[in-house]
Amino acid sequence: MAANAFSKCAEDLPSDQVYERRTYYRIAGECYSEAHDLKSAGDSYWVAKQYSAAARTYREGGYIDEMVQVVTKHRNALDRGLPQRLTMVARVYYIKACFDICLFPNISHSLYVVFKHQVST
């Protein structure tokens, strides 16, 4: 897969070639997105410091925890208005998870713990 090749190229570059590494990781993210491997795409964008693309990709793939990490750690680097929109997405997701726990008590209690942690931050 092309995405793996670009990731490998980025890993193999010397650490002083920062721009080239980020470029290869960004291209890998694009390739992973095309292949619908949205977790790997988001991870590649994050390493490439393409934080808005990473957050959007995680959201599209349903990786809400990862999306919240990007928003929390890189809020100021995100496109204008994106942190607010993604925060609302996360709130709705975690509130729904809490209701699911209340309505379906056999679901793992860990979702409630995640919800409680996200609301407090």
What pTM was estimated for this model as a whole? 0.80
| Residue the block writes with tokens 């490998």 | 8
Residue pair 71/45 in contact (Cβ under 8 Å)? The answer is no
**Residue 60: closest CA among 79, 32, 81:** 32
Q: Tell me how many degrees the CA angle 40-44-47 measures, rounded to the nearest 5.
A: 140
- 3-state SS of the chain? CHHHHHHHHHHHCCCCCHHHHHHHHHHHHHHHHHCCCHHHHHHHHHHCCCHHHHHHHHHHHCCHHHHHHHHHHHHHHCCCCHHHHHHHHHHHHHHHHHHHHHHCCCCCCHHHHHHHHHHHC
| Contacts of the segment 88-93: beta carbons below 8 A, 24+ positions apart | 89/59, 89/64, 90/64, 90/118, 91/119, 93/64
| pLDDT tens digits, one per residue of 21-46 | 999 999 999 999 999 999 999 999 99
60-94 pLDDT per residue, tens:
999 999 999 999 999 999 999 999 999 999 988 88
- Residue (of 51, 53, 11, 13) closest to 31 by Cα position: 53
**pLDDT tens column, 95-116:** 887 766 666 555 555 555 555 5
